[in-house]
Amino acid sequence: MLAKYAAYGKVITKRLHCYLPARSMGLPVEFVPSKRSDVRFEGLLDLNEADFKKIRSGLEHKLEVILGHILDGKSYEEVMKIWAELVAPDVAFAEQYCTNLEPIGESAIDLPETYKKFKSHVVALGGNKFGDRAVDLAFACDQNLQNELAVVLASVVRNTKREINAHILTRGLKDDYFQKIHKLFPSVNFFFHDFSDISYGANVNLMKHITVSTLDRLFLPRVLDDLEKVLYLDVDILVRADVGELYDTKLGDKVFAGKKSELDGWENLIDVITRVSLALPPKKAWALRRRAHATGQLTSDTYNAGILLMNLKKMREEDFIEKNLYLVEELKLNDQDVMNFYSAGRALNLDSDWNYVPTQDYSKNPKIVHWAGPAKPWKPEFALYKDEFQAIAKELAKDLATESKAAK
């Protein structure tokens, strides 16, 4: 094949294994990869002639030396020792390159001012006198899922014996809704935090069935700065057991507890980094991969972020928001990706019954049903346990005057 290329005046290719040998033969080559951020291309894009020759001559020298020793009858152990000495400078250079991290840019969000607003703008409803056994729950919701949130709250209240503090991060919801929810569940203490004015910039990367409110959970360590932990729950769930049991999980030095992902292509940190980096410009992709490499935990497990018991105290101590918000604003990670990048092997695995996804898991009696993905219980299509969700929705319909856009 290479002999055939020699007759061409110019080669245009997107294949690395065509580009490198054709250029090495001296042919004019235009390299047009479909994904310039592919990990294989780092250091090989837009090489000038001097840099290309340096790579080629370095390889030729190493091969000449090592083949000479092989032909001289050196043993395997001797050859490997010589090879290690030959490549030692390259390994040292690579290690220095991989650990030379780009500085973290400042967030476009005025964090100190935002933290102040968390205290001054909170709407607190319910003056129930709770002791230290109360369960602190957190939700993130916009106007599109206001009725669905009520269903989730009903499922929590009906199955939980202990007192409940509900911390709700909202977008597009007003005081009349807050009053309505409080009236429906008077035994719950509510704390509503308005996130409508917080923008994560133009680089936000979310799936079609997910809204920007899901990112707001990243602020929970600062929103709830007087709590050591909180149980975060998505709104596309149905609680069928006492969440007090889940809340009592001992975190120790873990940053959160969640259900380990078992999906192909989503099981470990390198899957996350590879997927996200391919959507970035080359230099940003390289910066993300170097920072992931620096964690030393590329093969660590990843977790579904729909149900998380979060160690708020530890996250504050480690400046979680200040050090990781750039992953959303600059590098297009979503909230689940950020949590997995941050945890890097420091998460506690929960029993899958606490985050049962009908399209992924099997359980005879799940404790929390989580409709992760596009299939939702308020949509016309079939979904397991949809009947239970809809039954509660019908009970609450008379008290919920505003029809949710998501239910249409």
Q: What is the full per-residue pLDDT of the chain (408 aa) written as tens digits?
A: 777 878 888 999 999 999 998 898 888 999 999 999 999 999 898 889 999 999 999 999 999 999 999 999 999 999 999 999 999 999 999 999 888 888 877 788 889 999 988 888 899 999 888 888 999 999 999 999 999 999 999 999 999 999 999 999 999 999 999 999 999 999 999 999 999 988 887 666 665 556 688 899 999 999 999 999 999 999 999 999 999 999 999 999 999 999 999 888 788 999 889 988 998 999 999 999 998 888 878 889 999 999 999 999 999 999 999 999 988 888 888 899 999 999 989 999 999 999 999 999 999 999 999 999 889 999 999 999 999 999 999 999 887 754 444 444
Q: What is the pLDDT of residue 62?
A: 97
Could you give the residue ranges of the DSSP H alpha helices within 25-145?
A: 49-71, 76-99, 111-120
Q: What is the pLDDT of residue 150?
A: 98
Both tokens of 278, joined, read 């391919």
Closest by CA to 402, choosing from 180, 240, 214, 203, is 180
Q: Which CA distances in Å does 105 have to 293, 304, 326, 343, 392? A: 19, 27, 7, 21, 46
Q: What is the pLDDT of residue 167?
A: 98
Beta-carbon contacts of 263 under 8 Å, excluding residues fewer than 6 positions away, are 360
Q: Which CA distances in Å does 365 have to 143, 244, 312, 385? A: 31, 18, 30, 11
Q: What are the start-end ranges of the E strands in 195-332?
A: 229-233, 237-239, 256-260, 303-311
Q: What is the pLDDT of residue 404?
A: 45
Report the Cα 9 to chain-centroid distance in Å. Answer: 47
Q: Which CA distances in Å does 248 have to 216, 348, 381, 389? A: 24, 13, 36, 26
What region does 342 belong to: left with phi over 0, alpha with psi -120 to 50, or beta?
alpha
Q: What is the pLDDT of residue 120?
A: 86
Query: 139 - beta bridge partners?
Result: 168
Q: What is the pLDDT of residue 26?
A: 87
- The residue whose two tokens read 């509900």 is 166
Beta-carbon contacts of 353 under 8 Å, excluding residues fewer than 6 positions away, are 241, 363, 365, 366, 367, 368
Output phi, psi for 257, to 5 deg: -120, 135
Report the run of H or E that residue 387 belongs to, with start and end: helix 386-396
Q: Is 157 exposed, middle or buried (0-12, 13-18, 19+ CB in 10 A)?
A: middle
* Residue type for position 209: H
Calculate the dihedral angle through the C-alpha atoms of 383, 144, 237, 344, rounding to the nearest 10 degrees. 120
Q: Are 335 and 220 in contact (CB under 8 A)?
A: no
* Residue type for position 42: E
Q: What is the rounded distance in angstroms from the CA atom of residue 359 to the CA atom of residue 173?
A: 31
Map out the domains of the chain with their CATH numbers: 199-407 (3.90.550.10)
Q: Are 273 and 289 in contact (CB under 8 A)?
A: yes
* pTM reported for the whole predicted model: 0.88
Strands 368-370 and 237-239: antiparallel
Question: What is the length of the chain?
Answer: 408
Both tokens of 358, joined, read 């009908």
Q: What is the pLDDT of residue 90?
A: 95
Long-range CB contacts (< 8 A, 24+ apart) of 78-87?
86/62, 87/62
Beta-carbon contacts of 75 under 8 Å, excluding residues fewer than 6 positions away, are none
Q: What is the pLDDT of residue 100?
A: 86
Q: What is the pLDDT of residue 406?
A: 46
User: Would you give the DSSP letter of residue 318?
Assistant: T
